Structure 1
Amino acid sequence: MKQEEVKVLDLLNAALRHINHDPIRAVSEVTQASKILLADPETDGNIHRYAVAVEARVVQTTTMAQRASTILM
Protein backbone atom coordinates (compact mmCIF):
# COMPACT_ATOMS: atom_id res chain seq x y z
CA MET A 1 0.00 0.00 0.00
CA LYS A 2 1.37 3.38 -1.02
CA GLN A 3 1.99 6.20 1.44
CA GLU A 4 -0.71 8.35 -0.21
CA GLU A 5 -3.27 5.58 0.25
CA VAL A 6 -2.43 5.31 3.94
CA LYS A 7 -2.79 9.09 4.32
CA VAL A 8 -6.18 9.01 2.56
CA LEU A 9 -7.44 6.20 4.79
CA ASP A 10 -6.25 8.04 7.91
CA LEU A 11 -8.07 11.20 6.82
CA LEU A 12 -11.29 9.33 6.01
CA ASN A 13 -11.26 7.46 9.32
CA ALA A 14 -10.62 10.72 11.16
CA ALA A 15 -13.57 12.29 9.34
CA LEU A 16 -15.82 9.49 10.58
CA ARG A 17 -14.57 10.00 14.14
CA HIS A 18 -15.22 13.77 14.00
CA ILE A 19 -18.49 13.73 12.09
CA ASN A 20 -20.79 14.18 15.10
CA HIS A 21 -18.89 16.57 17.33
CA ASP A 22 -16.87 18.58 14.76
CA PRO A 23 -18.53 18.41 11.33
CA ILE A 24 -16.45 21.27 9.90
CA ARG A 25 -13.30 19.32 10.63
CA ALA A 26 -14.85 16.19 9.08
CA VAL A 27 -15.62 18.11 5.88
CA SER A 28 -12.05 19.43 5.82
CA GLU A 29 -10.59 15.94 6.20
CA VAL A 30 -12.77 14.54 3.42
CA THR A 31 -11.73 17.45 1.19
CA GLN A 32 -8.05 16.77 1.87
CA ALA A 33 -8.52 13.08 1.10
CA SER A 34 -10.31 13.91 -2.16
CA LYS A 35 -7.47 16.19 -3.25
CA ILE A 36 -4.94 13.42 -2.65
CA LEU A 37 -7.08 10.92 -4.57
CA LEU A 38 -7.44 13.31 -7.51
CA ALA A 39 -3.68 13.84 -7.63
CA ASP A 40 -2.97 10.09 -7.80
CA PRO A 41 -5.21 8.35 -10.37
CA GLU A 42 -3.57 4.96 -9.73
CA THR A 43 -5.03 4.63 -6.23
CA ASP A 44 -6.84 1.38 -5.47
CA GLY A 45 -10.50 1.44 -6.54
CA ASN A 46 -11.65 0.17 -3.14
CA ILE A 47 -10.21 3.27 -1.52
CA HIS A 48 -12.11 5.43 -4.00
CA ARG A 49 -15.36 3.63 -3.14
CA TYR A 50 -14.70 4.03 0.58
CA ALA A 51 -13.99 7.73 0.07
CA VAL A 52 -17.30 8.20 -1.75
CA ALA A 53 -19.16 6.41 1.05
CA VAL A 54 -17.50 8.52 3.77
CA GLU A 55 -18.14 11.71 1.82
CA ALA A 56 -21.82 10.80 1.45
CA ARG A 57 -22.06 10.14 5.19
CA VAL A 58 -20.43 13.47 6.03
CA VAL A 59 -22.73 15.36 3.66
CA GLN A 60 -25.80 13.58 5.03
CA THR A 61 -24.87 14.27 8.65
CA THR A 62 -23.97 17.92 8.10
CA THR A 63 -27.15 18.50 6.10
CA MET A 64 -29.26 16.98 8.87
CA ALA A 65 -27.46 19.13 11.44
CA GLN A 66 -28.14 22.27 9.40
CA ARG A 67 -31.82 21.40 9.12
CA ALA A 68 -32.06 20.76 12.84
CA SER A 69 -30.44 24.08 13.69
CA THR A 70 -32.77 25.87 11.27
CA ILE A 71 -35.81 24.26 12.88
CA LEU A 72 -34.62 25.21 16.36
CA MET A 73 -34.22 28.85 15.38
Structure 2
Amino acid sequence: IITARPDVILMMSNAGPPVSDDELFGNPSIASTPAGKARKLIRIDGAYLLGFGPRTADAIHDLAVSLYGGQVTD
Protein backbone atom coordinates (compact mmCIF):
# COMPACT_ATOMS: atom_id res chain seq x y z
CA ILE A 1 0.00 0.00 0.00
CA ILE A 2 2.76 2.43 0.89
CA THR A 3 4.64 2.04 -2.39
CA ALA A 4 1.42 2.25 -4.44
CA ARG A 5 0.83 5.76 -3.00
CA PRO A 6 -2.95 5.78 -3.65
CA ASP A 7 -4.66 9.17 -3.90
CA VAL A 8 -8.00 7.57 -2.96
CA ILE A 9 -8.93 4.35 -1.20
CA LEU A 10 -11.90 2.43 -2.61
CA MET A 11 -13.52 0.26 0.04
CA MET A 12 -16.23 -2.28 -0.66
CA SER A 13 -19.13 -2.53 1.76
CA ASN A 14 -19.67 -6.01 3.11
CA ALA A 15 -21.88 -7.91 5.50
CA GLY A 16 -19.30 -7.91 8.30
CA PRO A 17 -18.80 -5.28 10.95
CA PRO A 18 -17.97 -1.92 9.37
CA VAL A 19 -14.53 -0.37 9.72
CA SER A 20 -14.71 3.25 10.85
CA ASP A 21 -12.81 5.95 8.99
CA ASP A 22 -10.74 6.62 12.12
CA GLU A 23 -9.84 2.94 12.39
CA LEU A 24 -8.89 2.74 8.71
CA PHE A 25 -6.84 5.93 8.67
CA GLY A 26 -5.31 4.99 12.02
CA ASN A 27 -3.46 2.15 10.28
CA PRO A 28 0.12 3.43 9.87
CA SER A 29 0.49 1.95 6.38
CA ILE A 30 -2.64 3.69 5.15
CA ALA A 31 -2.01 6.90 7.11
CA SER A 32 1.34 7.37 5.33
CA THR A 33 -0.20 7.36 1.83
CA PRO A 34 -1.52 10.47 0.03
CA ALA A 35 -5.07 9.06 0.48
CA GLY A 36 -4.49 8.56 4.18
CA LYS A 37 -3.05 12.03 4.70
CA ALA A 38 -6.03 13.58 2.86
CA ARG A 39 -8.49 11.03 4.39
CA LYS A 40 -9.88 10.32 0.92
CA LEU A 41 -12.10 7.26 1.01
CA ILE A 42 -14.88 6.05 -1.27
CA ARG A 43 -17.18 3.37 0.11
CA ILE A 44 -19.29 1.47 -2.40
CA ASP A 45 -21.47 -1.62 -2.28
CA GLY A 46 -19.32 -4.42 -3.67
CA ALA A 47 -22.29 -6.27 -5.20
CA TYR A 48 -23.36 -3.06 -6.97
CA LEU A 49 -19.93 -2.40 -8.45
CA LEU A 50 -18.86 -5.98 -9.17
CA GLY A 51 -22.23 -7.69 -9.78
CA PHE A 52 -22.03 -7.46 -13.56
CA GLY A 53 -25.50 -7.02 -15.03
CA PRO A 54 -27.98 -4.31 -15.98
CA ARG A 55 -26.72 -1.96 -13.23
CA THR A 56 -23.06 -2.13 -14.27
CA ALA A 57 -23.12 1.10 -16.29
CA ASP A 58 -24.79 2.94 -13.40
CA ALA A 59 -22.23 1.58 -10.95
CA ILE A 60 -19.34 2.71 -13.16
CA HIS A 61 -20.93 6.15 -13.53
CA ASP A 62 -21.43 6.47 -9.76
CA LEU A 63 -17.82 5.48 -9.14
CA ALA A 64 -16.60 8.00 -11.72
CA VAL A 65 -18.67 10.75 -10.06
CA SER A 66 -17.19 9.78 -6.68
CA LEU A 67 -13.69 10.01 -8.12
CA TYR A 68 -14.00 13.01 -10.44
CA GLY A 69 -17.10 14.90 -9.29
CA GLY A 70 -18.38 17.54 -11.68
CA GLN A 71 -15.96 16.54 -14.43
CA VAL A 72 -18.22 13.55 -15.20
CA THR A 73 -21.16 14.07 -17.53
CA ASP A 74 -24.05 11.74 -18.30
Q: Give the alignment's TM-score, normalised by structure 1.
A: 0.32
Name the structure where strand makes up a greater proportion of residues.
Answer: 2
The answer to which structure has the higher helix fraction is 1
Superposition TM-score, scaled by structure 2 size: 0.32
